[in-house]
Structure 1
Amino acid sequence: MLAPFPFLQAVTDRDRRWPRVAAMAAATPAAVLVLTLVFAIVLGILTGGAMFESAGGPRLQRSAIYVLQLGAGLGSMALAVMLAARYVFARPIATWLTAAPRFRWRLMLTGAALTVLGVGVLMVADALTRHGEFELPIFDPTASFALKGFYALAVVVGLFVAATAEEAVFRGYLLQQTAAFTRNTWVLIGLNAAVFAVAHLEFDPAALTARALAGAAFAWAALRLGGLEFAIGAHVATNLMIAFFQAPMLPDDPEVAGGLDDMVIEVLLAFYMVVIVELVRKSPRLMGSISSRA
């Protein structure tokens, strides 16, 4: 049922009316095209076209520029989706982000901190048991202090925008839109996880599994905690741990086919996420005025 989940209380009969759903389907591509074009023009002017040139130079520099490009692209697309939804369904954008009166920054930071702890433990275990390869980009001895500082700032900003954009679209708009047509919690979570995995267009079984499990865990967090704050923090933290300690993110990196061990790690991480969500929801200080008896 929807009733136990405050995050879905904003869903009304208006959200399931097919004329509005059709209008959203038509408006979204147009809004994405227009807003992405506007962002591209503005970024091009502000950076003298540097943001769109073929990046050369050191690997950290190329990765930093790529992550900023990624954040700008995903951010503009997500904003377009949310603006389209705002006018088609006639409700505030904030209702797709949280059921709380205000965005709970403390909850977001808690999600980030607890995720860093969990991912860090799994990374260390992976390195000790399977001799996993970690380039430790943030400690790259060949890079200058200034370059590492630029890289750190760029990935924090770019990945925060990118993760917030993905959460707003998948766990915000899509999750609530699906809830307009089904009251089955597991269908909501399963469909959200599947779409999130496929949308990344990386079809290696390990990659699909990792993204589906992450999508399911983030959807569970949104439902149980009444908003996207925790999921945004956890999403950003997961990506930052990879960018800081595993390898720089680059578009031309070859896809890595994962094995059974990789899938086990992803299952453990998803299980950890579910456990900490259930612990966090017991804290009135973090939950604020939101309560979920489900």
Structure 2
Amino acid sequence: MARTYGRAHSRRVLAPFPFLDAVTERDRRWPRVAAMAAATPAAVMLLSLLFAIVLGILTGGAMFEDTGGPRLLRSAIYVLQLGIGLGVMGLAVILAARYVFGRPITTWMTAAPHFRWRLLLGGAALTVIGVGVLMLVDGLLRPGDFQLPLFDPNSSLALKGFYAVAVVAGLFVAATAEEVVFRGYLLQQTAAFTRNVWVLIAVNAVAFALAHLEFDPGALAARALAGAAFAWAALRLGGLEFAVGAHVATNLMIAFFQAPLLPDDPEVTGGLDETMIEVALALYMVVVVELVRRSPWLMAPLASRTPTSSQA
């Protein structure tokens, strides 16, 4: 009786967040959690090896070499490599979760019957507006800090076109993979053990910040704020669609207007002005999420994923 009450109480507490309806008793069983911890690195290694062999054959090994040449070309190749690497890791995590916990992959992506592409595009467009305004403010505070890669006079139109296509493709795959791992699997796995929404968001934000392996306080704060905002979006909107769009748009604005992304870039650092800009962007995201939540044009009806007794 006590166990039945506890499960029912858990569902009532999580009821405002349909994205967590897929979480069941099975997700908190320690043997399955341990199996997930063992299966994930094995799946990452296996898929990474497979993709490396396929890409090596298709490109003659060129995909893994330092191409040299113009910065835009090197950045385009690097972003494609980054997207492939993170995409493989994200796919490995979600396939391992599918096998261990025995539920559809889509339950870690959305509570809607189908993936809501309109919500993804809406999240991207609204984020471009917010990031664009904050970039203008940042440009006034630190003039000359923006390299404007898409308007580089030393690069040909063809190179800038290739850079744009490669960056869009690579960053879309990378952002989607990160959202599936952090706001999909990790957020729901944390929800299996706590009903406190602020703990869910805090754990997600800290894990997201630390996973980037940049430990400067400014970098950690920026990533943690972004992770918290994306987690809030997933919870309030019932899926990852908005967060994926916002994540991609944020990175694209940097790659298109601030500087090309390269592996030898210095770590993200910043003073009080940059921290305030990151805080403002996070607050903007929270407000936009609450507005989007009230938009029937962007918000499709959510599916009922209430766990059945057989699943629990």
The TM-score with structure 1 as length reference comes to: 0.98
Q: Select which of 197, 220, 223 maps to 1:211.
A: 223
* 1:225 and 1:290 in contact (8 A); partners too: no
Moved more, 130-139 or 226-235: 130-139
Give the whole-Å Cα distance in 1 for the aligned partners of 2:269 and 2:188.
33
Question: Residue 82 of structure 1 aligns with which residue?
Answer: 94
* 1:189 and 1:216 in contact (8 A); partners too: yes
Q: Secondary structure at the match of 2:231?
A: helix
Specify the code of the residue in structure 2 equivalent to 1:128. L
Specify the code of the residue in structure 1 equivalent to 2:84. A
Give the whole-Å Cα distance in 2 for the aligned partners of 1:122 and 1:196.
22
Structure of higher CA gyration radius: 2
State whether structure 2 residue 85 is matched by structure 1 residue 73: yes
Give the whole-Å Cα distance in 2 for the aligned partners of 1:284 and 1:76.
34
Cα distance change of structure 1 residues 291 and 46 upon mapping to structure 2, 3 Å threshold: closer
Question: Residue 157 of structure 2 aligns with which residue?
Answer: 145
Alignment of 1:28-47 (within 5 A): 28-47=40-59
* 2:72 and 2:260 in contact (8 A); partners too: yes
Give the whole-Å Cα distance in 2 for the aligned partners of 1:42 and 1:25.
27
Q: Secondary structure at the match of 2:193?
A: coil
Q: CA deviation at 1:132?
A: 5.4
Question: Residue 202 of structure 2 aligns with which residue?
Answer: 190
Alignment of 1:141-290 (within 5 A): 141-290=153-302
Q: How many residue pairs align between the two structures?
A: 292
Q: Secondary structure at the match of 1:286?
A: coil
Specify the code of the residue in structure 2 equivalent to 1:220. W
- Give the % identical residues: 80
Cα distance change of structure 1 residues 40 and 171 upon mapping to structure 2, 3 Å threshold: same
* 2:219 and 2:267 in contact (8 A); partners too: no
Q: CA deviation at 1:94?
A: 0.4
Q: Secondary structure at the match of 2:14?
A: coil
Q: CA deviation at 1:291?
A: 9.2
Query: Any idea what the Cα deviations from partners look like across 1:240-274, whole Å, max 9, x if unmatched?
Result: 00000000000011224210111000000000000
Q: Secondary structure at the match of 2:297?
A: helix
Give the whole-Å Cα distance in 2 for the aligned partners of 1:15 and 1:189.
18
Q: Which runs of 5+ in 1 are unaligned?
A: none
State whether structure 2 residue 122 is matched by structure 1 residue 113: no
Give the whole-Å Cα distance in 2 for the aligned partners of 1:212 and 1:132.
27
Specify the code of the residue in structure 2 equivalent to 1:157. A
Runs of 4+ in structure 1 over 3 Å off: none
Q: Secondary structure at the match of 2:266?
A: coil
Q: Which runs of 5+ in 2 are unaligned?
A: 1-12, 305-312
Query: Any idea what the Cα deviations from partners look like across 1:67-114, whole Å, max 9, x if unmatched?
Result: 000000000010000000001000000000000000000000000000
Alignment RMSD: 1.2
Specify the code of the residue in structure 1 equivalent to 2:131. V
* 1:222 and 1:230 in contact (8 A); partners too: yes
Query: Any idea what the Cα deviations from partners look like across 1:100-142, whole Å, max 9, x if unmatched?
Result: 0000000000000000000000001111233250000011100
Moved more, 36-45 or 74-83: 36-45
* 1:126 and 1:132 in contact (8 A); partners too: no
Q: CA deviation at 1:43?
A: 1.1
Q: Secondary structure at the match of 2:298?
A: helix
Question: Residue 100 of structure 1 aligns with which residue?
Answer: 112
Q: CA deviation at 1:285?
A: 2.1
* 2:112 and 2:303 in contact (8 A); partners too: no
Give the whole-Å Cα distance in 2 for the aligned partners of 1:28 and 1:256.
29
State whether structure 2 residue 18 is matched by structure 1 residue 6: yes
